[in-house]
Amino acid sequence: MKKRKAIMASLLASVMALSALAGCSPKKAEDGTKAQGESGQEAAGNTDGSLVFAQDEFSAKFSMFFAETVQDQDVANLTATTLLNSDRSGAIIYKGIEGETKEYNGKEYTYKGISDLAVTENADGTVYYDFTLRDDVKFSDGKPLTADDVIFSMYVYSDPTYDGLASIYSLPIQGMEEYRKGMEPLFKLILAAGEDNKDFSKWTEEQQTKFWADYKKAAEAFVKEIEDALIANGSNKEGDSVAAFAANYGYEGLKEDATAMDFFNAMVAKYDGSVTDMSKAESAGTPFTELMESYKDYAVGVETGNSAPNISGIQKTGDYSVRVITTKVDAQTIYQLTFAVSPLHYYGDPAQYDYANNKFGFPKGDLSSVRAKTTQPLGAGPYVFEKYENGVVSMKANENYYLGAPKTKSLKVNYVAQADRVNAVLTGTTDVTNPQYT
């Protein structure tokens, strides 16, 4: 669909523009090659070391756990550091601590990261992914990044109620299925039970009534955003039937008198009943989870059976080392293990972390402490998030960044309408933009 192509084009353009900011001060490797993050040219900006980047409107979900829109992810990426890095061709860097030098388009580049990785394929079919972390990496608040932060991050991504973009929970990690079973999000249970449910053993009638009222309201708003987008790009006009809008969005065959809920339900059905999966793929702007005002109240886990107390294939092997065990060889696993490592002390509760006793920084099925920090991210990336105000994200260089503080000391990412972006650059109110042409 045209919508998805436009989103991908925006993503690529944004990442290319912002990646120039994330490099450390230019410094050569011992063999004269370029250091990781050095783009080959100075980042655009003002003489005072500041830079203004024009972007689409934000959803203000800036944490690496829950950022969904391209523009929110761009901001989140600048605050975060991933467990693994890749080179310019997309190949994984296995020796991030000392760095690896690779050739690209006739030039050599040195890439560094926060970890080394050793992969061992065993005779029984299992695979070990052994990570050794640098012991000098700090989050932007000065606190050290350790194996506990890796473990905490993986358990957030693996929680039965996690509904962000990461899909670590789908990997063939030993013990993952046993840990996740026996618990379902309240949202999913009420949705599956239906509006006419009379069994209130796991939730109250009041909860159910409010759920369906808020759900329908959000569904109609979700469809309205799609209709507005189709009108804006000329695919439809005001007054068209819901069926006509749906047909131009890839959902043909709805009855002529179809309602917004019919359109919404057709989209959900395509994704096997998963509203969150549908929203990630089909949203024309605001994710469904934001449109439903009470969503967080229904994002908690409800026990439905027995489950394992931990994920046996996620093991802390030292203060700065972690082993991940998969049950089989899977080509995609290593790429899913490039997740951002987020601080336990900020997103979780250190008092609730005790690895030896199956406590991982939050109650299983309750990510409220993680969700509470979604608008104010903190990580070990090149930039520190300062504030989001009046459509403008303000950031500053992270003086604790393990590759050295960025040269561009102040960064603002602000919402500028597409029609105004070229003029914003010409008049000097914006330094970098990614205008879309039709």
Tens of pLDDT, residues 87-109: 999 999 999 999 999 999 999 99
pLDDT digits (tens, 9 = 90+) for 115-162: 999 999 999 999 999 999 999 999 999 999 999 999 999 999 999 999
- CATH (residue range 1-80+381-438): 3.40.190.10
Closest residue by Cα to residue 312 from 326, 299, 331, 295: 326
Least confident piece of the model among 68-72, 380-384, 433-437: 433-437
What pLDDT is stored for residue 13 in this prediction?
A: 42
pLDDT digits (tens, 9 = 90+) for 354-363: 999 999 999 9
Strand partners, 53: 413, 432
CB 104 within 8 A of CB 86: no
> Which residue in this structure is represented by tokens 């991210």?
377
Residue 436 — very low, low, confident or very high, per pLDDT cuts 50/70/90? low
Kind and range of the H or E element at 277? Answer: helix 275-282
Residue 50 — very low, low, confident or very high, per pLDDT cuts 50/70/90? confident
Per DSSP, helices labelled H in 20-85 are: 70-79
pLDDT average, residue stretch 238-246: 98
- Cα–Cα dist 63/302, whole Å: 25
pLDDT average, residue stretch 297-317: 98
pTM for the full model? 0.84
Output the CA torsion sign for 187, 189, 192, 194.
Answer: negative
Strand partners, 183: 303
What pLDDT is stored for residue 424 in this prediction?
A: 76
pLDDT average, residue stretch 239-261: 98
pLDDT average, residue stretch 204-225: 98
What CATH architecture applies to the domain 114-181+308-374?
Answer: Alpha-Beta Complex (3.90)
pLDDT digits (tens, 9 = 90+) for 323-345: 999 999 999 999 999 999 999 99
What pLDDT is stored for residue 430 in this prediction?
A: 81
What pLDDT is stored for residue 26 in this prediction?
A: 33
The pLDDT of residue 310 is above 60: yes
What pLDDT is stored for residue 423 in this prediction?
A: 79
> Which residue in this structure is represented by tokens 């370029």?
34
Range(s) of the chain covered by CATH 3.90.76.10: 114-181+308-374
